[in-house]
Amino acid sequence: MVSRKFKSELPPLVFGGRSAHVNHSMEVLSKQLKTAIPSIQDCASLLSDGAVSSTCASVMFKGLKLTSLSCTPLRTVGQAKSDCILMIPFTGKGSVKLGSQALQWKAGAMGVWLPKVSFIDEGTTRSTLLINIDPNRVARVARIMLGLPPEEPLTQELLLPREVALQVGRVSFETIFRQFSSMVDQFVLQPELLEFSGIDDNFYRNAAMMLHPGLFLEAEETKVGAEYARRRLDRICQYIQANLGQPITLTDLEQVGFMSRRNLHYAFQNRYDCTPMQWVRQERLILAHSLLVMARVGTTVTDVALECGFSKSTTFSAYYLKQFGEPPSLTLSRALSR
């Protein structure tokens, strides 16, 4: 039997606490979560005795579904369906496993974006806000806020699961969504009034900024913002260096770094004084030079060009000559004559 002490240990819900009841049944909790978020298939207690204590509230209006959950340590398993979930923790920490990838979430630091993916979430006692959100509407709202035409491509940030910073520069999205949840709480006993409140637009406008920080908050020069941008560019550079022999496109780099094309170009110009694809070419040429300098009998310029991602040896030779002041054939000849 579950001890009643769990009731006092549960952190408060961000909305719905006045009408929600503390539950000690895993079956009831599982049913509540599956109803709120259909992609959740199973859940289990992480306590050694299998006990659970939880309280939950959900509301849906204008296509926006919000779930406020407070529970003891829990594992949830989700299958890839139509749900796109933005999880914002207010208490607790944990991780979401996506195959070999693990995303960390922690109150005050990091949330998680899960677009139509299978996952296993494990965490401590928590109070979280789960927003089942329409990514197409997020993109549409972002374009409107930025004054962009409907056909303007945005970033790839909505396509891939990832960690989402709760603090970007001086902006605390945790505080913003807590305030919005408090507004929802005022209507939770009469949810039909939410249809007229306009709160859904507030959620979507701030979700757009939270999921596209580079588009809206790039001017912030705080330590947090600068570190976030640096880590994204480092991730892109590591990807490039690990895939020099493979085709690399700007779309690939946008997806890896969660950046718009504009911000991608700005980041490379700011750090390396060149475009992203110029940096790719420079790295390929540096690799090619090292391979030619260390070449063995049987090595050809064409072989090296292909190995370094150049599809045409003539183009490779022209770039190599400009970069190193001699044709690659001369570098190779000198290496083979040793």
Residue 99 has pLDDT above 90, yes or no: no
Q: How confident is the model at residue 106 (pLDDT cuts 50, 70, 90)?
A: very high
Provide the pLDDT confidence category of residue 220 given band limits of 50, 70 and 90.
Answer: very low
Q: Give per-residue pLDDT as tens, 122-149.
A: 999 999 999 999 988 998 888 888 777 7
Q: How do residues 242-256 score in pLDDT, each as one tens digit?
A: 999 999 988 888 878
**Residue 227 confidence (pLDDT):** 63
pLDDT level of residue 95 (50, 70, 90 thresholds)? very high
- Same-domain status, 222 and 183: no
pLDDT score recorded for residue 160:
84
Residue 7: band (very low, low, confident or very high) from pLDDT cuts 50, 70, 90: very low
State which of 213, 228, 251 marks the end of a domain: 213
**Residue-level pLDDT at 111:** 96
Instruction: Answer yes or no: do 122 and 262 share one domain.
Output: no
pTM: 0.64
In the chain, the largest separation of any two C-alpha atoms, in whole Å, equals 85
Phi, psi of 148, rounded to the nearest 5 degrees: -95, 150
DSSP E strands in the chain: the ranges are 40-45, 54-61, 64-71, 74-78, 84-91, 93-98, 101-106, 110-115, 119-123, 126-132, 162-165, 167-168, 171-172
Q: Whole-number mean pLDDT of the chain?
A: 87
Residue pLDDT, tens place only, 39-64 = 899 999 999 999 999 999 999 998 89
Residues spanned by the domain of 134: 5-213
Same domain, 71 and 102: yes
| Tens digit of each residue's pLDDT (9 = 90 or more) over 285-317 | 999 999 999 988 889 999 999 999 998 889 999
Q: Which of 213, 247, 270 is the C-terminal boundary of a domain?
A: 213
Residues 116 and 162 grouped into a single domain: yes
Domain boundary among 162, 187, 213: 213
How many domains are there within the chain?
A: 3
Q: How confident is the model at residue 228 (pLDDT cuts 50, 70, 90)?
A: low
Burial class (CB in 10 A: 0-12, 13-18, 19+), 265: middle
Which pLDDT belongs to residue 257? Answer: 80
